Structures are given as C-alpha cells and as structure tokens.
Structure 1
Amino acid sequence: MTGPAVRPSPPGRFGPAELRLALAAPRPAAGLTSEFRLVDGLRTHTRRSADPGGDGTPVVLVHGLAVSHRYLTPLALALSATHPVYVPDLPGFGLTERPGRAYDVPRHAAFLAEWLAAYRLGPVCLLGHSFGAEVVAALAARRPDLVRALVLAGPTSDPAARSRRGQIGRWLVDTLREAKWQAPILLRDIVDARPWRVFATLSHSVRNTIEADLVRVTVPTLVLTGARDPVVPAGWRAEAARLVPDARTDAVPGAAHNVATTAPGPVADAIRGLLAPVLRR
C-alpha cells in the first residue's frame, strides 16, 4: 500500500505533504520503498522507486552534508514516472550504519562505486547535491565507466568561501531563504549522523579541491542551482561549468540552495533534458 499521491508545492516551497513523504522511510510511501544491503561492510539504506520499465537511464541521487535520502524524496518521486531512481544514504547518514570515522570525499566516492556494484548499476545518471556534488564529481573523474551523465546541483565549495566559517556563513544566509517545513528533516538527519560527523565532514569538504575532479569529467554535465542560492552564487556556478569539458548551466527561479528539494519538477525536467541527447548518441 503506497498511500495517496503527493501534489508538489510550487518552486521554492516545501510543505506538510513533502515532509510526510520525506520522513516515511523505511515504510513504503507514494511508490517509494526502502532496501538494506551490505556495502563495503556497512548495512546501507537505499530509498528507491519501482522500475517504470522501458530503457530509462537509472538516476542515482546523492545527498549533501548533514542530510540524507529524506530531503531528496520529492525529486525521486518526480523522476520515478520515467526513470528508476535510487537514493542511498552515505555512510553515517540517514538510516545507513555509522562507521567510526567521517569519510572524506575520495572515501565516499569509493563507497558509492561499491554501492553501484552491489546494485549492478552503471552507467547511470548521477545527481549530487551540495557536498554530494563533490562526491559524484570525484567518482565521475575516477570511474567514467560508471557514469552516463552528471548533475552537479548546488556544488560546494566555492573557492571564495572555502573555509568552515565561509560555508557556515553562507548556509546561515540560506536558511532565511528556505522553506521552513524542511527544518524537521534537518534536525532528524543531524541526530542520526551525530554533530561531530557533520562537523568533520564539513572539514573534509573545505579541504577538497573539486576543481581537480571537474577538469577530469568526460560525461555530459549539468551544473544546476537555485537562482536565490547564496551558497553557490552565479559566478561559482559558471566557473564550475567552465571547468568541465561538456557542461551547461541552469538556475531555477525562486529556489535557494536546496533546489533539489523545493523545485523537484523543474529539476526533474532538467535531468530529462540532459539525458535525452545522451540516449540518442
């Protein structure tokens, strides 16, 4: 029993219906179900859609810092009519087992490669949001055979604010622009991850030079942000796209940093637009 359909809120908003969907796991909801598999020695949780059939490229959504699959469930639902969608919780986050240390970007990328092997997936479309964009860029640079297309949604971190103070300052500004119904998800995710892991992962993020991975990406890439995103301003969005040999940019009006959460319809359409010419090649 999957429950009633969820009518998405307008871009830039996130309401009670989306909150209930986000917090549903591991219970089935709106066609999304949970699975647990052993990956690299960790009991790993994945929220996934039913396979819609056809030849739709699988889309894997990779969450950002301090959060989990929960805030990406509206996007997973928006994509599920045309593509198999998978939303794994990275080690220590969401419902995945917590290792004793916080993984850095290369370690997360290696784990994601193991996760793809466990699901016998690839090549796939990878969407990484915020810190997740750093992880998928690292994987695409190291294992291009696993990636058909890449979406960097709100990629961190802008060299102009590449410090813990700089990133925290921008995130505080972003909280004033985000839909308030997201707050319970963030609180739940921080409790699951533990504050020390969040802080340690932030330290790994600001030490990671994403530019070194972007120049090695060989697949079609979309750099996507909200038009009101203070964490990833327009200049860094353009620079990130310039570094990738085959990249385009887009900005969703009305959305801030959590564009993948508050604008699932436009983001899903942008992903389909990216994949359409890739599938014709």
Structure 2
Amino acid sequence: MAAPRPAAGLTSEWRLVDGLRTHTRHAAGPTTGAPPVVLVHGLAVSHRYLTPLAVALSTTHQVYLPDLPGFGLSEHPRGAYDVRRHAAHLAAWLAAYQLPPVCLLGHSFGAEVAAAVAATHPDAVRALVLAGPTSDPAARSRRGQFGRWLVDNLREAPLQAPVLFRDVWNARPWRALATLSHSVRNAIEADLVRVSAPTVVLTGERDPVVPQRWREEATRLVPEAALVVVPGAAHNVVTTAPTVVADAIRHLLAPQPAPTDR
C-alpha cells in the first residue's frame, strides 16, 4: 500500500507508454546479469498484491511491476481494455524499458495478457509463468467466474481485503466488470499453443478458479510447460506463498546442465 513512496526496496516511476502515463513499481535487485522478472497483476487489482513476491525475488533479480492501463496508479483510458489491447500496451512497455528478454509472470487475468505477449512477441520473453490462469472453458461466463471467485474468497487470508478494496476503488467497479467480460470472451487456448518460451503453470492446490482439470489442460497446451501446484494455497498464491513462487521462478531460470555423452 506504500506506492508511490519507496518501501521495502521498491520505488515508483511513470513513463508515457502508448500515450498513457503508466506506473511501474521497481525493485533494483543485484547486478548479476540474471534476467529481469516482470509481474503482471490480475483483474481489478494492481501491483500492490504482488509486492510480497517482488520483495522475495529482489534478492536475485531485478523486478518490475507495471500497473495495466486503468488500474493501480496508471492513467485511466476512456474504456476498459480487452486482452489484446492490454497485451499490446505491455509489449510497448517492454520496448520502452529496453529490457533484455524477461521472465514474464502473469497472475489470473494477467496470465491471459502474459500468454498473448509471449505468443506474439516471443523474442521479448525468455520464460513464462502462468499463475492461476483464467479462464477455464468450463466456467467461461461472468456468472461462472464470479461464482468461483466467491468460493475462493472463503479460502483466502482476510488480510488481503484492504488491498482488494483499494484496487477496486482505483480502477472503479465498472472497469473491473467490463474487464471480466473481456476475459470470458478471450480464448486463451489459442495463445497457449503458440508459446515457445519455457513455461510454468503455477496454481494453488485449493484454487477453485483454476481447478485440477483446467490447470492440467493449460499445461498440456503449451509446447514446453511444467505444472507446479502449491499445497494449501488458493487462487492468490502469488500473495500467500511468495517464497514458494519465487523459488519456482528461480528454478525455471536456472541454467540447465549440458547433456553429457555416454
């Protein structure tokens, strides 16, 4: 909740991206040459709930947390962007920051955006983490998704509520509802099959938004993907299990040993 004030090694900055003043929270991290990690938030929220994961990763990586247009501290466009427009904006953000190929993590609706970027801009994405990716075709409607989120709220830590309320207030409820409509119209499967980067599909064991059948199907669709399930966690696994998620990212980015001749 500290932004734009510096806190826990994180600072805020704004850049003009595609005509919109876009806010980014940044952890400088060590200068080890490790690939930067970009964390993309989900529907109706912002960089705020990703802060614990950013802090956990900042010991080994530079970490960037952009607020998508209309959310957090970024400028509000006239309407609510769909997945394609958010992906185009995120690709423009990557170009503006002139980063080397990044590890891109998207959570929930942010996973839809991240998958679209990885599919259309493969040179910009070194590795991909799809955390709690929406939306399961078995519940691809506003009613279906909202019902699953209601169940998830009963499984989440209640201390997350102030962050959620603040983010919805910043975005405005109409934008959250319109973005949900865009999410359920987006067939993420079409992007998953085009992803060429090494990928981890990561979910909480108790996530009702991404049940077992859907997380296994999403993993199968990506040509080079592994599934990581965090015991005891629900949908907001990136907030409630940041150390476990950070370790999964480090493992994904670790150099692979060269094959040996026998």
Shorter chain as denominator, the TM-score bin is: over 0.9
State how far apart, in whole Å, the 2-side matches of 1:134 and 1:253 are.
23
Residue in 1 that maps onto 2:240: 262
**3-state SS of paired residue (1:277):** coil
Residue by residue over 1:178-199, the C-alpha shift from the partner in whole angstroms, topping out at 9 and shown as x without a partner, is 0001000110000100111000
Residue by residue over 1:181-220, the C-alpha shift from the partner in whole angstroms, topping out at 9 and shown as x without a partner, is 1000110000100111000000000000000000000010
State how far apart, in whole Å, the 1-side matches of 2:75 and 2:154 are.
32
The one-letter amino acid of 1:232's match is: V
State how far apart, in whole Å, the 2-side matches of 1:280 and 1:241 are.
25
- Cα distance change, pair 60–99 in 1 and its aligned pair in 2 (3 A): same
State how far apart, in whole Å, the 2-side matches of 1:39 and 1:113 are.
10
Residue in 2 that maps onto 1:173: 151
1:25 aligns with 2:8: no
* Native 8 Å contact 1:220 1:278 kept in 2: no
1:243 aligns with 2:221: yes
Find the partner of 2:231 among 246, 250, 253.
253
State how far apart, in whole Å, the 1-side matches of 2:6 and 2:186 are.
36
Residue by residue over 1:74-105, the C-alpha shift from the partner in whole angstroms, topping out at 9 and shown as x without a partner, is 00000000000000000000000000100000
* Native 8 Å contact 1:224 1:249 kept in 2: yes
Residue by residue over 1:84-139, the C-alpha shift from the partner in whole angstroms, topping out at 9 and shown as x without a partner, is 00000000000000001000001000000110111111310000000000000001
Taking structure 1 as the reference length, what is the TM-score of the superposition? 0.91
The one-letter amino acid of 2:130's match is: L
The one-letter amino acid of 1:56's match is: A
Find the partner of 1:34 among 6, 9, 12.
12
State how far apart, in whole Å, the 2-side matches of 1:172 and 1:201 are.
17
1:54 aligns with 2:36: no
1:161 aligns with 2:161: no
The one-letter amino acid of 1:213's match is: D
Per-residue deviation at 1:26? 0.4
**3-state SS of paired residue (1:266):** helix
1:66 aligns with 2:68: no
State how far apart, in whole Å, the 1-side matches of 2:30 and 2:14 are.
21
Find the partner of 1:78 among 53, 56, 68.
56
The one-letter amino acid of 1:29's match is: A
Unpaired runs of 5+ in structure 2?
A: none
Residue by residue over 1:224-274, the C-alpha shift from the partner in whole angstroms, topping out at 9 and shown as x without a partner, is 001110000111111000000000001111110000011000000000011
Residue in 2 that maps onto 1:189: 167
The one-letter amino acid of 1:59's match is: V
Residue in 1 that maps onto 2:23: 45
Mean CA deviation greater in 50-59 or 243-252: 50-59
State how far apart, in whole Å, the 2-side matches of 1:255 and 1:98 are.
32
Find the partner of 1:208 among 166, 177, 186.
186
Moved over 2 A (4+): 277-281
Residue in 1 that maps onto 2:212: 234
Higher relative contact order (Cα pairs below 8 Å, separated by 6+ residues): 1
Per-residue deviation at 1:277? 3.4
State how far apart, in whole Å, the 1-side matches of 2:46 and 2:59 are.
22
* Native 8 Å contact 1:48 1:85 kept in 2: yes
State how far apart, in whole Å, the 1-side matches of 2:243 and 2:51 are.
12
Aligned residues with identical type, % of pairs: 76
Residue in 1 that maps onto 2:195: 217
The one-letter amino acid of 1:201's match is: T
Aligned length: 259
* Native 8 Å contact 1:122 1:145 kept in 2: no
* Native 8 Å contact 2:35 2:100 kept in 1: no
Find the partner of 2:79 among 98, 101, 119.
101
**3-state SS of paired residue (2:13):** strand
1:120-159 equivalent positions in 2, closer than 5 A: 120-159=98-137
The one-letter amino acid of 1:97's match is: E
Per-residue deviation at 1:278? 6.1
* Native 8 Å contact 1:52 1:84 kept in 2: yes
